[in-house]
Amino acid sequence: MPFNFQVTPSGFPNCHVFQCSQDGGITLDVFLAESADGGQTFTNCRVTDNSFNPNGNSPVPVVTIGNFIDVTIVPNNGFFAVWTDALSGFQQIYGSDGT
């Protein structure tokens, strides 16, 4: 799956947002991997509240859903992530600041 990586100035965290399946099935979740030590180690945090089927209600696989994902760093060591999610049955744009 495609991912996005936000590199920040020294002293700020590096963030990587990605979609993956944690249950071994087709459903996906969005995760944020954050590093405070220049990428030596990362801590993963689940961003989505619910897993979603990337195909939604579509009878054919939606192979590009992971192409529409991004993250940006905001003041005070925060982030804002956006992604395409099919939790509603249709592809929609979702976003989170991790709270």
Spatial separation of the C-alpha atoms in residues 16 and 69, rounded to whole Å = 10
Torsion of CA 23, 28, 29, 32, to 10 degrees: 100
Q: Mean per-residue pLDDT for 26-48?
A: 85
pLDDT band at 10 (very low <50, low <70, confident <90, very high): low
Residue 99 has pLDDT above 80, yes or no: no
Tens digit of pLDDT for each residue in 45-86?
Answer: 888 888 888 888 888 887 777 778 888 877 776 778 888 888
